[in-house]
A and B are shown apart, each in its own frame.
Chain A
Amino acid sequence: MSFTAHDPHDVAAQDAHTHDAEHGHGKPSFVRRWLMSTNHKDIGTLYITSAVIGGSVGGMLSMIMRAQLMYPHNHIVTSGAEWNAIITAHGLLMIFWMVMPALIGGMGNWFVPMMIGAPDMAFPRLNNMSFWFLAMGFIFIMLGLTIGEGTGAGWTLYPPLDNATYSPGIATDFSLFSLHLAGISSLLGAINFIATILNMRAPGMTMFKMPLFCWSILVTAFLLLLAIPVLAGAVTMLIMDRNFGTSFFEPAGGGDPVLFQHLFWFFGHPEVYIMILPAFGVISHVVSTFSKKPVFGYLGMVYAMVTIGFVGFIVWAHHMFVSGISDDSRVYFEVATLVIAVPTGVKVFSWIATMWGGSIEFKTPMLWAIGFIFLFVIGGATGVVLANAGLDQELHNDYFLIAHFHYVLSLGAVFAIFAGFYYWIGKMSGHPYPEFWGKVHFWTTFIGVNLTFFPQHFLGLAGMPRRYPDYPDAFAGWNFVSSCGAFLSGASTAVFFYILYRIFTSKEKLADNYWGEGATTLEWAVPSPAPHHTFEDVPVIR
């Protein structure tokens, strides 16, 4: 794809004088810039910052969990209630306050408008509102973790455990409302992305010339638009059951706890694709850039994402193989689930084909992308295993499942987040990251997370259930290994914070396109850091 933005140096020149003039408003104050921001880049930065905070809290919780599980009969976590509050908050934080804000709110906000040649998002104030709903939600989820006994139903929030009888405290209400806030935030964000991508592409930027990251965000936005309202409905019914005496999920009043599971997973399964599709988008860009080749099979990649998004909506009950669905339903949901392996395979093989014949440079973002592809394939393979309803009867809710979804999320989505971070941080900050420390960060994380999660496959096969603060002594060995790996991953986070420090204290400046010939999308035509208003004139794509 080629494009004619006006000469990038013009943009730089304009930037130099618009920076103090900024349409005559002067440099905005801190409060005005960060609390009232309507600029997609500033909001993106806010999202990424909140992802760092959410990820840090969620990560610290996982360190506590692994410390507790390091030895049997441990008492680092003092009670079952505390343990359940920690596991619940860990799950919700990592999903709603780490992966989603990093990939969708953060990178999506920063780069979707830039890649399609739009001056900003379609609804800048809505964009601001989405972020602040999420920030308020963060306060609520932390209250849900800390007030009283905390929210102890697990991130899946299955009733009756979190109804008024078994979780009487107000903490559970805070956690439920935090999901409402995060949900509204995502919903508004999704509407904004759809409007932006459908209406604000620069002249010549047809849908099928649009970079894959924008496609991934577009599909994700549609998934959010259709899935979040279902979650909102389920959560509202739960709040009604807890506080207003309804019995949607109360068997004593004619309700059914399994209904909640259906509603939750009708949201929850698309949710996993909401987390992984933007990651697919990032990986496509990184792989193409560092192979110095255009993406192989662009159309196939787009259709694969759309297919994954569609099929992702009709497989939800594979999370419920042991909760009362008939044999024939088990057959259907197994087959439908397995179908997803095909478009996912298309993605993986297309990435490899993109590298094929390329001139691959193993810079830090590429290392994370390669790590992503390989580990995602492992997670996908165990996914195919779990999709077998007959096998799920043995593996459901045990550590094999924990290993599986951490391979696709903790090693998949998170690796993509870091790939995107190292890929774009120069464009966002204007300063390079230290390459050596970037590689140290990659290798310590890679070894750490594999050491953490691979042994969990064995624990699961041996029959260790999830959400246990204490376990039979026979499981001690692999749990010890897993905890050691977790601490190594935890230490690698310190390397990441050191890298952040180096980036923001760096005096070095970067060129517009610091990756060279492989980086061909529109964000590489503007200066680094991208100016406050990316495009003063509309770029034309040929």
Chain B
Amino acid sequence: MKRRIGWLFCAALLLVAAGHVALAQTAGAPDPLAAADTYVNAPKPWQMWFPKAGSPMQAQIDWLMKYVLWIMAGVVGFVGVLMVYVFIKFNHKANKVPSHLTHNTLIEVVWLVVPTILLAIIIGPSLSLIWYEGDDSNPYMTVTVTGHQWYWEYNYQSVAGLDYTSYMIPDDQLQPGQIRRLSVDHPLVLPVGEKIKFDITSGDVLHGFYLPSLGVQKYAIPGSIQTSWTLITKPGTYYGECNQICGINHDAMPIEIKAVPMADYLAWIKVAQANYTENAVPPDPISSPRPIDQFAEASK
């Protein structure tokens, strides 16, 4: 009995403490997204390969890309060497009398069979990646991502009322530390280490929900929902872009993701519910061909 009272007391204390923490955050004390600032996965100058994989899916894509590219580099190299050999051996100075060879059944069979074998070698691991990418079952949470001209809208299906819009920071309003053309006013916040499903759709024209460092890409299509998923392994900031032409500001609707540990994510939800639920009304898409900076102004 005493013990039970003790537990109840502790629980009550915890609740009060949690409430205090939440209040403190709304008041502008410790930022629950701070953990995401420690690691920024953005494109680098003169980058020549994929971004560092932020998810197992991108890690698999990276692996398969190397696998296929090495095979194909071998093919290109082989053809290149063969051509150089032919030019040295059979140019008109080295070989004055041309042969009239026009058939060789063996070689013709070889160049049918060998490429077919190479393709089979590629197809094996490639197909398993397709099914892996398509397997969005049993997610921890689902976010509905809606593309609009020219901003993204995020709706957390499991958090009542949590629905907000995300605009690019216009060039003339960039703060130190923000990345031109990639940073947004309200990033998508996700917990690390959990499977997150995206339900992707559009409110107007086609958009492309493209997260290169996470290996996610799907068109946002009005009137239908497409799904994809990710699992972010490391807290940090990840970027993406709209990758299907959507009108005059197609290049001005990037995606910014803040991936934080679960505790910070749960803390953030409280702040977000307080801040975002009333400003969840998206601008009317018909009136949207307004300058982008006006939108950013309006959504502040």
Tell me if chain B binds chain A: yes
Binding site for B on A (CB under 8 A): 72-73, 79-81, 83-84, 152-154, 158, 160-161, 165-166, 251-252, 256-258, 291-298, 300, 322-324, 326-327, 330-331, 334-335, 338-339, 341-342, 345-346, 348-349, 352-353, 355-362, 370, 373-374, 377-378, 381-382, 384-385, 388-391, 393-394, 396-398, 458, 461-478, 518
Contact: B223 with A257, CB < 8 Å?
A: yes
Which residue in B99, B119, B241 is a CB contact (below 8 Å) of A357?
B99
A166 to B245, CA, bound (A): 12
A402 smallest CB distance to B (angstroms): 12
Total number of residue pairs linking A and B with CB closer than 8 Å: 293
Contact: A461 with B49, CB < 8 Å?
A: yes
A468 to B248, CA, bound (A): 10
Contact: A465 with B75, CB < 8 Å?
A: no
Q: With A358-B98, A359-B96, A360-B87 in contact, is A394–B208 under 8 Å at CB?
A: no
Quick one: closest B residue to A388, CB to CB?
Answer: B126
**Which one of B6-14, B40-48, B264-272 contacts A?**
B40-48
Q: With A330-B130, A374-B79 in contact, is A324–B86 under 8 Å at CB?
A: no
Contact: B119 with A373, CB < 8 Å?
A: no
Interchain Cβ contacts under 8 Å between A and B, 12 examples = A161-B205, A342-B112, A346-B111, A389-B130, A391-B68, A391-B126, A394-B212, A397-B244, A470-B252, A471-B251, A472-B43, A472-B181
- Chain A hits for B123, CB < 8 A: 334-335, 338
Contact: B45 with A474, CB < 8 Å?
A: yes
Contact: A292 with B98, CB < 8 Å?
A: yes
A257 to B206, CA, bound (A): 9
- Most B CB atoms within 10 A — which of A322, A353, A458? A322
Contact: A355 with B90, CB < 8 Å?
A: yes
Q: Confirm or deny: B134 has a beta carbon within 8 angstroms of a beta carbon on chain A.
A: yes
Q: Confirm or deny: B61 has a beta carbon within 8 angstroms of a beta carbon on chain A.
A: yes
A129 to B217, CA, bound (A): 45
Q: Confirm or deny: B83 has a beta carbon within 8 angstroms of a beta carbon on chain A.
A: yes
| 8 A Cβ contacts from B172-208 to A | 179-182, 204-206, 208
Contact: A393 with B215, CB < 8 Å?
A: yes
**Which one of B15-23, B26-34, B101-109, B276-284 contacts A?**
B101-109
- Chain A hits for B158, CB < 8 A: none
- Chain A hits for B179, CB < 8 A: 472-473
Q: Confirm or deny: B5 has a beta carbon within 8 angstroms of a beta carbon on chain A.
A: no
- Chain B hits for A327, CB < 8 A: 130-131, 133-134
Quick one: closest B residue to A82, CB to CB?
Answer: B248
Contact: B251 with A293, CB < 8 Å?
A: no
- Chain A hits for B129, CB < 8 A: 388, 390-391
Contact: B241 with A477, CB < 8 Å?
A: no
Which residue in A334, A385, A466 is a CB contact (below 8 Å) of B130?
A334
Contact: B122 with A338, CB < 8 Å?
A: yes
A476 to B47, CA, bound (A): 10
Binary interface profile of B, 77-104, with partner A (CB < 8 Å = 1, else 0)? 0011011001100111001111111111
Contact: A388 with B102, CB < 8 Å?
A: no
A61 to B235, CA, bound (A): 43
- Chain B hits for A342, CB < 8 A: 112, 115-116, 119
A81 to B250, CA, bound (A): 10
A160 to B83, CA, bound (A): 47
A476 to B108, CA, bound (A): 46
Q: Confirm or deny: B137 has a beta carbon within 8 angstroms of a beta carbon on chain A.
A: no
Q: Confirm or deny: B24 has a beta carbon within 8 angstroms of a beta carbon on chain A.
A: no
A468 to B130, CA, bound (A): 28
A294 to B103, CA, bound (A): 10
Contact: A469 with B251, CB < 8 Å?
A: yes
Quick one: closest A residue to B49, CB to CB?
Answer: A461
Contact: B247 with A166, CB < 8 Å?
A: yes
Q: Confirm or deny: B243 has a beta carbon within 8 angstroms of a beta carbon on chain A.
A: yes
Quick one: closest B residue to A325, CB to CB?
Answer: B226
Quick one: closest B residue to A398, CB to CB?
Answer: B243
Contact: B112 with A361, CB < 8 Å?
A: no
Q: With A338-B119, A360-B86 in contact, is A476–B126 under 8 Å at CB?
A: no
Q: Confirm or deny: B210 has a beta carbon within 8 angstroms of a beta carbon on chain A.
A: yes
Instruction: Name the 6 nearest CB pairs between A and B, nearest first.
Output: A251-B223, A80-B248, A463-B212, A390-B129, A357-B99, A381-B72
